[in-house]
Amino acid sequence: MSYLLHIDASSLSEASVSRRVAQSFRAEWQGTVVHRDLAVSPVPHLSAAGISARITDPSEYTPEQAEAAGLQDELIDEFLGAGAYLFTVPMYNLSMPSVFKAWLDQIMVAGRTLDFTHGAPTAGRPAVVVSARGGGYGPGAPNEGRDHLVPTLETILGWSHTLGLDVTSVTPELTMAPAVPAMASLIPLHEASLATAHEQARQLAAAIDDQAA
């Protein structure tokens, strides 16, 4: 396996639950890691120049198209070169941080990462999504059915008509319980969810490493 590509989209640093759980994965990982922190160095949102460059001969690029195409090439080469993926994508307002959507829009290009006839070149590669959330969104929870992040990511990243990755999601919940007095009774559930997430992350890293060996 070439390397693990870790795409980090949490706006928080050490305080981020998603980042801390991802570090449990990283601590178990034995191979090379390429880390792109979108909170520190966000990629720009897709522009008209970036879209038009995809269907323009490079010899005819405007300066804006050349710059946009250069960034896309960098991000796509980095994505395609990985053998496994770790995505740190916390839930913000029921969905994904905009920096992660911007990254997806830059790398999802027909003929490069997308192949609607033969399948994506990354099909079957393992990927782990770590997504902390302040409340509870599982079966029976008050917010059940309102998670518009993990199902969306599992489709974008894992569907055979898109990137085709083999996606596993790790979702520590109720992260606001220690900070919100009205949620204090849920602290034990949060702590249990967090412990499970850390252990799941470690086990996934070890299992993916074993598969690559």
Q: Could you tell me the pTM of the whole model?
A: 0.95
Give yes or no for residue 1 having a pLDDT over 70.
no
List b or e across 16-54, with b for residues whose CB sees 16 or more CB atoms inside 10 angstroms: bbbbbbbbbbbebbeeeeeebbbbeebbeebbebbeebe
Mean pLDDT of the chain: 96
The pLDDT assigned to 210 comes to 78
The pLDDT assigned to 41 comes to 97
Domain 4-212 superfamily per CATH: Flavodoxin domain (3.40.50.360)
Please write the tens of the pLDDT for every residue from 51-99. Answer: 999 999 999 999 999 999 999 999 999 999 999 999 999 999 999 999 9
Give yes or no for residue 212 having a pLDDT over 70.
no
Q: Where exactly are the structural domains of the chain?
A: 4-212
C-alpha pair distances (Å), 60 with each of 65, 74, 106 = 9, 20, 20
Rounded average pLDDT over 194-203:
98
- Close Cβ partners of 58 (under 8 Å, ≥ 6 residues apart): 66, 69
The pLDDT confidence band at residue 213, using thresholds 50, 70 and 90, is low
